[in-house]
Amino acid sequence: METLLKINNLNLGFEIDDKFYPAIKDLSFELKKGTIHAIIGESGSGKTMSVMSIIKLLPKNAKITSGEILFEGKNLLNLKENEINKIRGKKIALIPQDPMTSLNPLYNIENQMIEAVIEHKKCSKKEAYDIAINKLKEVNVYEPEKKIKAYPFELSGGIKQRVIIATALALEPDIIIADEPTTALDVTVQAQILEILKEIKNKGKSIILISHDLGVVSSYADFISIMYSGRIVENAPCRVLFKNPKHPYTKALIEALPYNKEKKLKNIKGTPSPVNEIIEGCEFHKRCDYAEDICKSKIFHLCQQEDLSNVACRLYDC
């Protein structure tokens, strides 16, 4: 399988009151062409900052200190603002968590979609309209000619999210980053949006899907990265991860899934630490049933296993 995007040892931190706090630590993963790669982690674990690094949409006080993000033979981290502008949206599109933030309440959908398409494609208004309608059909918007006349407030959350996906698709990106695209939506609508992402993938697009819910993405993802406190603790093909989870945090997440209730719902003890609380050694050691003294001082890096999973834990170190 062809690798489309490769992140190597990305480190990012925040400056807060003249101090520097690491938030993304040695992040590495590959996005294979035509797959959905899910990044799973609790709120605050660094999922959004990881993907925002790819398209350089970071807060002012964020600083990338090392690493590389390889796409089409270039390290995206070295690109100038005007060069990254040519990639953002056009080649790598972002679907944000809250559809309201990316739709302008003052304009109808037609205006917004047409403007986005014309800006990128430099085509006529009529061509842009046809593209917009086609893409709305592609994401199963019923009566697209009618819906496209609507203002955002007239549409449900699910339809708004479809409009955003359709707008992203209209620019024909190679990679779609969906940052918790269903968190703001009802459960039934969630599944529909994930189905649409799967259909998009089946047409050859590559998707990075962020979620805090391992259960929700388990039937859609091809690969999964589990993040904890700014670090990927396990990377694996989805089937391998569920059949043979290795990192104690991954195991705890799987055991906590609702369908494992009969196995006695196991809550993970403790809470994750905020960015300004620096933990020595493995970030998970205080919550880990398998922690030993070495885990309090040593950082374990991702280490490839025989079944192609990568695990950062003393139990699987190489």
48 touching ligand ADP, by CB under 6 A: yes
Q: Which is nearer to ligand ADP, 61 or 75 (CB)?
A: 61
Q: Which is nearer to ligand ADP, 49 or 165 (CB)?
A: 49
Q: How far is CA 256 from CA 76, 251, 263, in A?
A: 37, 9, 9
**Cα separation of 123 and 113, whole Å?**
13
178 touching ligand ADP, by CB under 6 A: no
Do 251 and 65 contact (CB within 8 A), yes or no?
no
**Cα separation of 113 and 121, whole Å?**
12
Bridge pairing between strands 206-211 and 36-40: parallel
3-class DSSP assignment, residue 147: helix
Q: Which does 275 bind (CB under 5 to 8 A by kind): Mg ion, ligand ADP, none?
A: ligand ADP
46 touching ligand ADP, by CB under 6 A: yes
Q: Which of residues 253-312 bind ligand ADP (CB under 6 A)?
A: 274-275
Stretch that binds ligand ADP, among 38-46, 127-135, 193-201, 262-270 (CB under 6 A): 38-46
Closest residue to Mg ion, Cβ-based?
Answer: 48
**Cα separation of 66 and 209, whole Å?**
24
**Cα separation of 176 and 90, whole Å?**
10
Q: Which does 96 bind (CB under 5 to 8 A by kind): ligand ADP, Mg ion, none?
A: none
At 303, the amino acid letter reads C
49 touching ligand ADP, by CB under 6 A: yes
List the 223-228 sheet strands across, edge first.
92-95, 175-179, 206-211, 36-40, 223-228, 231-237, 310-311, 303-304
48 touching Mg ion, by CB under 5 A: yes
Stretch that binds Mg ion, among 22-30, 41-49, 126-134, 226-234 (CB under 5 A): 41-49
Q: Which is nearer to ligand ADP, 114 or 214 (CB)?
A: 214
Q: Which is nearer to ligand ADP, 40 or 136 (CB)?
A: 40
59 touching ligand ADP, by CB under 6 A: yes
**Cα separation of 132 and 134, whole Å?**
5
* Contact set with Mg ion (CB under 5 A): 48
* Contact set with ligand ADP (CB under 6 A): 14, 16, 23, 41, 43-49, 59, 61, 274-275
